[in-house]
Amino acid sequence: MRKLFYIFLGGFIGFPFIGVYAQKSIESPSAVYKSIDTLRVSGIVLNAVTKSPLVGAYISYKDFGAGITDSLGHFSIAVPDDRVSLLIKLDGYADRMEPLKGRRNLEILLQSVNMGDYYNELASPIGQTRRLKTTGASENIDTKGNWTDHSTSVDDYLQGRIAGLNAIRRSGTPGMGANLFIRGFNSLYASNQPIIIVDGVYFDNGTYGTPLNNGYYNNPLSYIDIKDIDNITVIKDATSTYGAKGANGAIIITTSRAHEEATSIDAVLSGGTSFRPKEIPVMDAGDFRSYLAEMLQSKGLSDHEISGLSYMNDSLSNPDYYNVHNNTSWQDRVFDNSYMQNAYLKIAGGDNIAKYALTIGYGNNKSPLNNTGQTRYNMRFNADLNLTKRLFATANVSYYRNEQDVRNMGIAPSTNPIFTSLVKAPFFTDHVISSDGIISPQYADHDTLGISNPLAIMNTERGQNNSFRYNGTISFKYLLGKNLALATTVAITSQKIRETFFVPERGIVSDTLMNDVLAYNRSGAQVIKLFNVFNDSRITYNNSFGSIHDLAVVLGFRYNNLKSEQDYGLGFNSATDQLTSVGYGLNTLRQIGGSIGASNWLESYLNVAYGYKDKYFINLNSSLDASSKFGRDVSINSLRIGGRPFAVFPSLGLSWLASSENLLANADWLSLLKFRLSYGVTGNDDIGNYTARNYYTSQNLLGISGLVKGNLGNESLMWESVSKLNAGLDLSLFNNRLSLKADAYHNKTSHMIIYEPGITISGQDYIITNNGAMKTNGAEIDLNALLVDNKKFKWQLGLNVSKYKSVITKLPAGSILTEFADGTIMSRVGGAPNVFYGYKTNGVYASDGQAASEGLSNLNNNGTTTAFKGGDVRFIDLNGDKIIDENDRQVIGNPNPDFFGGINTSITVSNWTLSALATFMTGNDIYNYSRRQEESELNAYNQTEAVKNRWRVDGQVTSMPKATWGDPMGNSRFSDRWIEDGSYLRLKSVSLSYNVPVKSNKAIKSLNIFLTGTNLLTLTNYLGYDPEFSASSSAIGQGVDTFLEPQYKSIEMGVRIGL
Amino acid sequence: MKKIIVIFLMTVSCILSCKKWDDHIALDSASLGKTIYEQMSENSDLSSFVSYVDKMNLDTLLNSSRNLTVFAPDNEAFANLPDSVKSNDAAIRRFLLNLIALKSYYIRDQTDTSRILMMSGKRVLFANNQFGDADFASSDNVARNGVFHVLKEVVLPLPNIWEFINATKETYKQNAYVASLNYEGQDISQAEIDSIDLETGEPVYKSGTGIVQINTFKQKVCDVGNEDSLFTYIVLTDAAFGQAEATLKPFFKANSEDTAIFNADWYTSKDMVFSGLYDNINSQQTLVSKFGVHYNLNPSTIVSSYKVSNGIVYVVNTAETSLQEKIPVVYIQGENPIGFSSETESALEDIFYRKRYNPITKDTFNDIYVNRGSSGANFYVDYSTNNLLSTTYKVYWVALNDYVVSGQGDDAYGTTANLNQIVQVLNNDSLSTVLFNETGVVEPYTYTETYIGEFVNDAYNWLLSYPDSMPDGSSYLSNPATKIIRLQAPSSNSSPYNLTLDYLKFVPVFN
């Protein structure tokens, strides 16, 4: 409590430091400019396509003057200066800011298609603003309700839509979402995910505790129904206003509110099919049996031992004959086409006192992985209240419930259904078969080769994730004067995740516990709780001086208190497979554990936005952050208040709307030209709640529990500091029919968190310090064109391409090697932060003679060497010592893409609209751990059909090495054999919708029928189900294919009814 | 319309996504996708082989996914297939199965001595680019289910030594004798378990179960029917066999003449099997039998030789073994007694099984020391042996008489005085019949052999070819030919009555 007090105190004391500056900037235009002359500007507003005059368009210049076009499209308006810009608004047309550039008579062509978004309003940290006036790199998506989209979460939805945002979907499991990397990587060990703000409230996007079900990800963003979202703003550059949480950019989400008082009701019903993935060609029973026999021969089994195996005995009198003479397609047993149903209802309306928007959603998305899928229920209620003339309030309540059936994914050899279905011998059966060939309903047990029965995993194993998230927000805004307002927002978020699983004994390979006890059946239960209290209080000041100076100042503070708790229990060996809860497990084997976390974040912030003549804009942001995570002795980049360090994060943005200069008055082709420059410092506070403190952990020694020092507390531990420099250009031509946004940036991370190896005497394996540094350079382009613009036929095409290059610039102790999925991932100074580090190969020795002539040997584990022979892989001897050992490893792949982005298009022909989004990634390497299991030729796993080409005979030229039990020569080691080009181009979504013409006086206001296909086409050379997955949210672990559920194709048909 | 578009897109995506795998899994050659049988059927040189395979219904096997190796003689080679095989279905089958192995063997798998197991149960030499004696017309033809090699000659299955012995028992007396050694015995792998012996933990088998015919030559000497090992077997011509029998008969004096002859035959034939393949006998070569008896195989004595599947058989006209080796020295190890005159606790406490160091030979040895002191008068230790043949033996012992003081204050044991010890040989049937009775003196710290006396054994009344035990469970380890050797303390005037023995040695005397 005392700590809290100090932090609060610090926050308030901190104000004067900025306050002094703030007051200065407020008071600086001491002589208020009064316009003496008013000019009258007149003009005509026309439809850009038909050139017909538009009636009722609203033309305004701030609150200086306004006008409405008459029946001939003419208007006249008073302005203070002929160098300002007019705002033109008309329902059904895109907003437009038109600079006068000295002109007194205008012809304005309004587009019905929203091109380039330059004139849109977007949610910025300081409130709603026109994109035109921003100085940083921010993008905005007006989601228009996403009626036809099938994305299961926002992060998934954002993929391919924002230049510079690399959204990599974690897996095909519904709701898993995507890892969002805005402009590459800024950190090795801390989060690389942006801060999420929903309706002005910090949305905690962290995961607290590992899911019990392997490969699952508790994705908080899935708790927002995509149809509830009105608007998304992505801020890619300096977001100092979010201080210690702003290092990775920000995503600001605005949920649906009532925009008009008339009641509107929208209902969407849709249903569809998800398609099972295309099978990976593994060997059939015959080919596999020959291969297995060869494997067993190389293992040293005698003829009698091999013949004694029941699957090698072809006699019908073999009592096991029918159990071991099948040709089972195991992938068939695991995947099946499945269905989905979604329903959504939105009611909005109100009066001049209160407006509300109520939404209710239901979704049932079965995955093609049998018996798994997601069911969700959600509701949201947003209300806007005008309490008095000066007091306004908004209240938002949302509740989301998720029920999901899952199975272990990723590296879980005994329980991952996909893995087992790929490697299980096809001659086995899924159900027990009697010696007479009669099939029993009983599932077959795991087989003698040590592989579980995938059907038992699918049908008798249980894995469930039930969770809910509740958010309640209330905000008040009080107008102190015409220009001055006080506002506060208070929000609580409560989230609870309840996970359970049960792995039965029958059909599934037993696990061995740490004390060498066999775990026949296994159960587990876990609860993860999260509770956030958030407050944002601020004073805002908005004014225009002399009608050409715009000033907006926000001074405020944010506070967030987080409490998280994780409790789990694991049970083993319950009496029968029918007793599935943890309590039934043997008392002696039960494991319980958990964790508790708490953190406080307090930030005081100041934002000043100044605009001159709607042409020159300056944005100044700064924040002063305190966090319970920071060490107490931090002295760099901080102020000390109340004995605690407060991090200082300043940023400055400039922009110049060159196209509004009079010089370009006659350049009709040029609609807009704007230059942007911003620089700022942001922070990353994802350094662990207690890393800076000394703490103790429990340890069991010979059955006695005690406490041991858990770390070496580092009271100098500070946030990672990321400075960002961004230069941008916005260009729009031919009445906005062609637009271009280009940005180049340089991000520099200093004080980057590093796990340094601890010195032996410390008793710690590693010590967490701020001794790393990294930089990222990059650029991105967003092109948008309205190719065809006719009355009945419109064709819009957009493309965004991004590139980044992250380079580590400082590491305290050489390169960092991380083992992940039997591969090595390396980060070293001068290189990208997460490259694959292994052996390079050059085919397979065709003969013993060829191998002997090259004279390479393999270094064995016991220090001896063995010469390579025919059929072994030709590894590259990097250091020329004729011995292949770990010194011959080199960089063999880089999971970072050369380019990524998206292509979107929309074609409208009368009432038909076809829109499509394709996403792509090029030049990224993938470590195909999955194929490594299917082509290693070292055990009894089934292999892909490529293994039929394995080397067998001296002189055989092939790329597939020989099959040897245990692979003593390391032919399957982590090498470029498993690194593949992960480039892909995917038609992520395509939808066709038809607006059924309805008469406006009928009961139905609007009727829209749509058909949406997701992931229908993927062009890639990647040898796996799908090239897109993200096994971990950190930089390390990207691009590793570990048997996660693949992305699947789906087709959904729906109808939207407006009442 | 919409559906058509969707279906079109799906088809395109399938075609595109399948292709990458098609490239990856495309077979390097079409033959990798064909079975051995399919490939052979397409090969006109192998039509004869294929027709025989069809006839014997082995096509299913050659099409199965068992990962086989097939050595297929080409059509030209089939011309040399003997009619005796052609006309006999069983022989054809045996011939074919002798060309098929249930593992894949490539040319690179050859070693100089690799013998691969064929489906006939026999092993055939696959070395030096030959299968048996046949050269390859082509080799390493990889198929989906294994590999096949084409032979230039037919390779017929050879008999093994056991089959040879049985086939020639009319020709050679030695083989007739060996083949006749058939007894009923219990095969524990087929017998029922009755109980578990509480002391040893070994299973006890029900008598009368698992009864099989056993040949005690195969059981006690060498399983010459085993295809997995290689043997060299020497058959004496009848004349040589008779001569060997006559030489050995005096050592097996018995109540029955037949017993003497059969034991002589056993002693002749037991040293005629040698482990390993000794072919190419160009000069005299010394072979050692399982029982340590040397045989000087002289090429001039070889009458004929036969290649068999598990080795080689020589017929020789002279037995080249030394009698001295055949009639061995018999040792009785002191530390292996079968009983004592008293097995009371106090008596057993005084018996030490020791490990001592011999400063002369620089070796450690195990012995027994009975520290009965003054209470040990007449105390004795019994041993037994079946190995004393009917001849004269000189008897020696090595016995260490020493005095040991413990450094830890425990009681000292032993003595510094001379010990008097009696050695007796008793008949197993009646212990009262003393065949040998001599007293010797053990002086302290003697590590060398001491001569005790001369023992004449006048009978060996047991058939060596008998099995060790009978199906009813009775054991023949103790039989009428067994002798009990007794080491005894004197009855008086010789205190301390301690006994000590490293070993007793019976050295046969040849005239």
H/E stretch holding A154 reads helix A154-158
A249-253: average pLDDT: 90
How distant is the Cα of B69 from the closest Cα of chain A, in angstroms?
11
Nearest to B13 by CA among A983, A160, A1026: A1026
H/E stretch holding B63 reads helix B59-63
pLDDT of res. A702 = 72
Q: What Å distances lie between residue A832 and A167, A191, A929, A974, A997, CA to CA?
A: 19, 17, 21, 19, 55
pLDDT of res. A1058 = 87
Nearest to B12 among A286, A291, A1017 (CB): A1017
Contacts of B100 (CB under 8 A, 6+ apart): B58, B61, B62, B68, B69, B70, B71, B118, B119
Pick A820 or A39 by higher pLDDT: A820
H/E stretch holding A519 reads strand A518-519
Axis-axis angle for helices B238-248, B257-269 (nearest 10): 120
- CA A112-A118-A119 angle, to 5 degrees, is 65
Confidence of residue B242 (pLDDT cuts 50, 70, 90): very high
How distant is the Cα of B140 from the closest Cα of chain A, in angstroms?
6
How distant is the Cα of B373 from the closest Cα of chain A, in angstroms?
53
* Predicted confidence (pLDDT) at residue A6 exceeds the cutoff of 60: no
Q: Mind listing the pLDDT tens digit for each residue in B43-79?
A: 999 999 999 999 999 999 999 988 899 999 999 998 8
pLDDT of res. A4 = 46
Preferred mutation among B3, B36, B103, B140 to probe A, highest tally of A CBs within 10 A: B103
Buried b (16+ CB within 10 A) or exposed e, B294-325: ebebeeebeeebbebbbbbbbbbebbbbeeee
Q: Mind listing the pLDDT tens digit for each residue in B385-442?
A: 999 999 999 999 999 998 888 767 677 888 888 889 999 999 888 888 888 999 999 9
Q: What is the ipTM of this complex?
A: 0.81
Q: Mind listing the pLDDT tens digit for each residue in B110-164?
A: 888 888 999 998 999 999 899 988 999 999 999 999 999 999 999 999 999 999 9
Preferred mutation among A953, A1020, A1025 to probe B, highest tally of B CBs within 10 A: A953
In contact, A1041 and A1020? CB cutoff 8 Å: no
* Predicted confidence (pLDDT) at residue B11 exceeds the cutoff of 70: no
8 Å CB contact of A1016 and B6: yes
Strands A250-255 and A39-47: unpaired
Q: Mind listing the pLDDT tens digit for each residue in B263-295?
A: 999 999 999 999 988 988 888 889 999 888 999
In the block, which residue shows the tokens 């004959």? A321
* Predicted confidence (pLDDT) at residue A660 exceeds the cutoff of 70: yes
Nearest to A303 among B18, B108, B117 (CB): B117
Average pLDDT over chain A, rounded to an integer: 86
Confidence of residue A24 (pLDDT cuts 50, 70, 90): very low
* Predicted confidence (pLDDT) at residue A341 exceeds the cutoff of 50: yes
- CA nearest to B67 within chain A: A290
CA distance A138 to A192: 18
8 Å CB contact of A949 and B32: yes
How distant is the Cα of B104 from the closest Cα of chain A, in angstroms?
7
- CA nearest to B140 within chain A: A953
Furthest-apart CA pair in chain B: how many Å?
A: 126
pLDDT of res. B12 = 56
Cβ contacts (< 8 Å) between B20 and chain A: which residues? 1020-1023
Instruction: Provide the β-strand partners of residue B423.
Output: B438, B487
The two tokens of residue B223 are 């399983």
CA distance A408 to A405: 10
DSSP state of B197: -
- CA B127-B129-B134 angle, to 5 degrees, is 95
Is B28 at the interface with chain A, CB within 8 A?
A: yes
CA distance B163 to B308: 9
Cβ contacts (< 8 Å) between A1022 and chain B: which residues? 20
8 Å CB contact of A293 and B33: no
B443-451: average pLDDT: 91
Cβ contacts (< 8 Å) between B34 and chain A: which residues? none
Axis-axis angle for helices B238-248, B173-180 (nearest 10): 60
Tell me the three state secondary structure of residue A746. Answer: strand
Chain B stretch 136-175, residues whose beta carbon is closer than 8 A to a beta carbon of chain A: 140, 142, 144-147
Cβ contacts (< 8 Å) between A958 and chain B: which residues? 28
8 Å CB contact of A1018 and B65: no
Axis-axis angle for helices B47-55, B89-97 (nearest 10): 120
How distant is the Cα of A836 from the closest Cα of chain B, in angstroms?
23
Cβ–Cβ pairs < 8 A, chains A and B: 110
Chain B stretch 70-109, residues whose beta carbon is closer than 8 A to a beta carbon of chain A: 101-104, 106-108
Nearest to B64 among A297, A314, A848 (CB): A314
Nearest to A169 by CA among A833, A1035, A1027: A1027
CB-CB neighbours of A125 under 10 Å? 24
- CA nearest to A1017 within chain B: B13
In the block, which residue shows the tokens 């029946």? A71
8 Å CB contact of B66 and A289: yes
Confidence of residue A935 (pLDDT cuts 50, 70, 90): very high
In contact, B450 and B396? CB cutoff 8 Å: yes
A536-556: average pLDDT: 87
In contact, B158 and B122? CB cutoff 8 Å: yes
Strands (DSSP E) along A23-177, which ranges?
Answer: 39-47, 58-61, 65-68, 74-79, 85-89, 96-99, 105-110, 121-124, 127-130, 138-142, 165-169
DSSP state of A8: H
CB-CB neighbours of B444 under 10 Å? 14
Nearest to B38 by CA among B75, B65, B19: B65
Note the helical H segments in A203-272.
Answer: none
Q: Mind listing the pLDDT tens digit for each residue in A274-284?
A: 999 999 999 99
8 Å CB contact of A1017 and B16: yes
Is B111 at the interface with chain A, CB within 8 A?
A: no
- CA nearest to B18 within chain A: A278
How distant is the Cα of B49 from the closest Cα of chain A, in angstroms?
23
8 Å CB contact of B66 and A954: no
8 Å CB contact of A293 and B66: yes
Strands A250-255 and A195-198: parallel
B441-445: average pLDDT: 90
Is B9 at the interface with chain A, CB within 8 A?
A: yes
Cβ contacts (< 8 Å) between B32 and chain A: which residues? 948-949
The two tokens of residue B66 are 């068992």
CA distance B88 to A970: 51
Axis-axis angle for helices B173-180, B257-269 (nearest 10): 100
The residue type at B95: F
The two tokens of residue A527 are 């609860």
A698-709: average pLDDT: 78
H/E stretch holding B260 reads helix B257-269
How distant is the Cα of B26 from the closest Cα of chain A, in angstroms?
7
- CA nearest to B108 within chain A: A954
CA distance B222 to B238: 22
Q: Which of A350-364, A404-418, A1028-1042 has the lowest mean pLDDT?
A: A1028-1042
Burial of A1003 (0-12, 13-18, 19+ CB in 10 A): exposed
The two tokens of residue A373 are 């899928």
